Amino acid sequence: MTDTDIPRQLTTQRIIDCLRDNDLQFFVDSHGEVGTISASRTYQFLLLGENREILIVRGHWNRAATIERANEILEVCNKWNTAMLWPKAYYRVRDDGEIHVFTEVSYDGEFGVTDTQITSLLNCGVQTGAQFFNELDTLYPDPAMVKP
């Protein structure tokens, strides 16, 4: 058994190390949160909880919808959440009335995680988030990308 196979406490540095070890591009924002951009979509790798033991991979769709689309987007999210295990899909309405769509995969690492588990969780959050966002892109094509 190697050191990477031993469950240890989740830390931001371990997330960064796993991203580096897998040659994945990432950023650290001004709040110290780690994330990546894939297909113009932003994904954050957050540690929450009393002991920062809960890993959240939160995806943000690279476009916004108008408030008139709220019921449609809710239906898409609910249909996805009913049929799929990951990720959880939801939206938030901003003060300006724009709808921003998110995905989340979460894991409670209270008893520690291995490096392999961290890598799998990060990949799961990004890849399943991309699947949901691809479905949104199909339902709501980007008008700038549609050929006349």
Within a 10 A sphere around the Cβ of 111, how many other Cβ atoms? 8
Q: Model confidence over 100-114: pLDDT tens digits?
A: 999 999 999 999 999
Whether residue 103 lies inside any domain: the answer is yes
Whether residue 31 lies inside any domain: the answer is yes
* pLDDT in the model for residue 143: 78
Q: Model confidence over 37-96: pLDDT tens digits?
A: 999 999 999 999 999 999 999 999 999 999 999 999 999 999 999 999 999 999 999 999
Count of domains for the chain: 1
CB 35 within 8 A of CB 19: no
Whether residue 148 lies inside any domain: the answer is no
State the residue range of the domain holding 86: 3-139
- Whole-prediction pTM: 0.92
pLDDT at 115 over 90: yes
pLDDT grade for 144, boundaries at 50, 70 and 90 = confident
User: Which residue, 88, 95, 34, is CA-closest to 64?
Assistant: 95
Helix, strand, or coil here: 124? helix
* pLDDT in the model for residue 5: 81
Whether residue 75 lies inside any domain: the answer is yes
pLDDT at 27 over 80: yes
Whether residue 146 lies inside any domain: the answer is no
